[in-house]
Chain A
Amino acid sequence: MFVFLLRRLVQAFVVMIIISVISFAIQNKLGDPVLQHVSMTVAPAERAQIRQDLGLNDNLVVQYWRFAKKAIHGDLGTSYYYKEPVLDVIFKKLPATFELAFCAIVMVAFIAIPCGILAAIKPKNIISRLVVALSTMGISIPIFIVAIFLVYIFSIQLHLAPSFGRGQTTDVFGLWESGLFSKDGLRHLMLPSISLAFALMPIFVRLIRAEMIEVLQSDYIRFAWSKGLNTRRIYFIHALKNTMLPVITVGGIQAGTLVAYTILTESIFQWPGMGFLFMDAVSRVDTPLISAYLIVVGGIFVVTNTVVDLIYGLVNPTVKLANHGL
């Protein structure tokens, strides 16, 4: 267990270093940060001076070294636009993204699991056929189309939900800006979380259905049938438990997808979270912020996967952590 964690830690570190190198290598391909911060009328000579002062003319290796030295002390730089340490900026936006993802995941869990199970145990049922058909359609419709239609119907036509932003937030213990405790905040959460859930739902419905079918055909379930166990017990205790294992693993891998989808959802709904921050940083050529975002997201991914593997090990003791996935 300890060795496993240690290895994971090393791995996370390596991932982050690689990401930081990549993000450094591409940063001057994204545009010129100086041009974004001066008016068009500033003379080229003056702009060159600003660039020099910022150290942007130095060799990339020199720049990376400078960055790395500071990074060791936990300082990933200062955002050009927010004028604050990049990590502070990112962590300030973290709650928004977290709440959005959380709501979407809750929605997925409450809808996808029953639907997936139903589709697996009653494949001939009209509803489960509908579920399967809808899930196939669901993965075929790009999220940006879904989102724009949600806005058109629920905000513009019906005036049921706001079309952008996060609304009123409340401070929880001074640490967390939450939108979950006010009516306004919840209303704002509606459309973005539905469209995010819409993007994830079909993947999970299909996955749960496939796993469940497979599990139901395994020997021990047949044995349970022949033993004459209660149907409900077989489905919900024996089969479901074993279905959820791979679902959890895949869930961990889907974290990457989730990040990509939050970027899209947040930019469409102007949701002030990390994904929106990232797109904004790209358009403003806020290079320190871009690098830091990539590093943080890489970190989050490694952490989720470690947690998933830990859970996997706890639920299923036959998996030896040290051998699994490492």
Chain B
Amino acid sequence: MFISVLDHLKITPKRLFPSTAVLFIVTLFCCQTASAVTLKMAFDADPVSLDPHEQLSEGTLQFSHMVFDPLVRWKQNGQIEPRLATHWQQITPTTTRFFLRKNVRFQTGNQFTAEDVAYTIRRLKRSADFRAMFDNISSVIVINKHTVDIRSSHTNPLLLNIMTYVFPMDKVFYQGRDQIVKFGNSFASKHASGTGPYIVKEREPGVRMVLTRNKDYWDTKSKGNVDKIILTPIKNDSTRLAALLSGDVDFISPVSPIDIERTKNSKGVQIMTLPTGRILLLHMNEKRRKEFRDVRVRRAINLAINQPLIVEKILKGYAVPAGQLSASKFLGHVKGLQPEHDVSKALELMKQAGYEKGFRISMMAPNNRYMNDDKVAQAIAAMLGRIHITVDLKTLPKAQYFQQYDERAADIMMLGWQSDTEDSNNLYEFIIACQDAESGLGAYNASEYCAPSINTDIKLANRETNPEKRARIMQRIEVKLHDDAAIVPLYWQYNIWAAKNNLHIDRIVNDQNHPFLGDLVIDEK
């Protein structure tokens, strides 16, 4: 789908007289109309489709926040903020009633009602990517035009967290032509109607997307003043930064930590960073290597790796060294668990385990997935060399890496994980639970570590609604992981944005990396 940028007026005279004089007039004309506030931004990826349910990815969610509105959303302080749902109350342990905002219209002009919410959740349950999250929502009952009941199959402590993924879609617009097609054409992948602050004007996949302000946007209190957004995906870190420094774009993300100092020193440019819950870790495969079955070896590896040094030197301090999976804002976080570094103790443990001479292992890491992932992997390989473990390191592009990851192709593999629900349990389910192909539990458990007690605790934590009890369960998992040295936690990444000084990005960014562009204020020069 390619809608021409040029509106009719501009293109007609040029076709008639393709002369420089006309070009000049057109250029003048363009300059005059450009007085509206335009935001040019460059992120590392663009949404793969206009269908918000086709892929669960950062790009899609960023897009959803522009063109659609969620029922509720995360604020910067980690609290939940009402959006299309104004308030909610729990009626029974498994039913929650949501009261919806009135007088909201979709971009097609259709009225937003409870029907749309029910429709959207039903559609989410059909989406391969979102299905798992919505599994325990058993039904959605429309009470009246602006009230809806959401029923779960069992008590669900994370219902609100999940509701941040419900971006009501225009039922009247989509119905009947709403297939979710991953590898082909579909109506929804090329057309969008949401209630959000922006409307898609033009999209050339991989090159650019142009959005204009929704004139009838319901949130009139929002101070956002951006009339037009031009989003360009730029994959290469230095090209993206060059685009900002040369003034070609106004807002970029991410910025490589290496470049932060230089960016800070540039005039007219600001940097914004926020710590996130995205954990980077190493899996030591116990099925492939008998050495890793010995807890002393695993502990020795944990001791040999110096997380604070990696953070300081390679990530320039823009990460938090981790001694566990849960970041401090998560319920499962255990205060005392800090990363330890002690090479002599590690050597002693290796000796006790009978590997004084060390051994040779293979290791794989992606080289374009996480911030400086290949450099971190290389530093780790060198650190393991200190305790006589020779590492054959292979770093590969993410396209190939995750295929290798599924095959558990190396003895040590690197993984980064961001909890979809902003909750510890999501980490445990995917990274550390015993593997089960059917349910998807432990899908990324490349250590093949399996502790039945953890699986039981994960199940408990999924139903426990008392936050204190829940925290205790999850902290128990965290301590067990630490005692078994089952994995090597490395650090929690930062999200990093950079923008021109006249953009007030500090108010709209958040640690999920879905900037609320509808609320962005740009000072006019």
Contact = CB atoms under 8 A, between A and B. Distances in A.
A83 B185 contact: yes
Interface string A69-84: 0000000001011111
Nearest to A279: B235
A251 to B, nearest CB: 30
Among the interface residues B206, B238, B247, which one has the most CB atoms of the partner chain A within 10 A? Answer: B206
Interface in A186-231: none
Contacts of B440: 41-46
Contact of B245 (A156, A171, A285): A156
B256 interface: no
B55 A156 contact: no
A152 B234 CA distance: 17
B18 interface: yes
Given A41-B430, A44-B443, A170-B14, A267 B236 contact: yes
Given A30-B399, A84-B185, A162 B443 contact: no
A192 B71 CA distance: 45
Interface string B1-43: 0101110000100100010000100110000000000000000
Interface in B171-194: 181-186, 189-190
Interface stretch (A32-40, A124-132, A299-307, A317-325): A32-40
A182 interface: yes
Given A35-B406, A171-B4, A285 B239 contact: no
Interface string B339-374: 000000000000000000000000000001000000
Nearest to A183: B27
Nearest to B204: A272
A40 B415 CA distance: 11
Contact of A183 (B23, B48, B444): B23
B248 A155 contact: yes
B246 A42 contact: no
Given A83-B184, A159-B247, A163-B239, A40 B438 contact: no
A254 interface: no
Nearest to A48: B437
A151 interface: yes
Contact of A45 (B232, B236, B247, B437): B437
Interface stretch (B127-135, B300-308, B510-518): B127-135
Nearest to B403: A32
Contact of B55 (A38, A181, A268): A38
Interface in A21-71: 30-33, 35-46, 50, 54
Contacts of B402: 31-32, 35
B397 interface: yes
Nearest first, the 8 A-B pairs at minimum CB distance are A43-B440, A39-B56, A31-B399, A155-B246, A32-B403, A39-B129, A31-B400, A272-B207
Interface of A: 30-33, 35-46, 50, 54, 78, 80-84, 92, 148, 151-152, 155-156, 159, 162-165, 168, 170-171, 181-184, 267-270, 272, 277, 280, 282-285
30 contacts: A32-B403, A35-B399, A37-B182, A40-B444, A41-B132, A41-B420, A42-B440, A43-B132, A46-B440, A78-B183, A82-B206, A83-B184, A83-B186, A83-B189, A83-B190, A92-B2, A148-B238, A163-B248, A164-B239, A164-B243, A170-B6, A170-B14, A171-B4, A181-B23, A267-B236, A270-B236, A272-B207, A280-B206, A283-B368, A283-B397
Given A37-B48, A181-B23, 7 more contacts: A38-B55, A38-B129, A38-B182, A40-B430, A83-B184, A92-B2, A168-B5
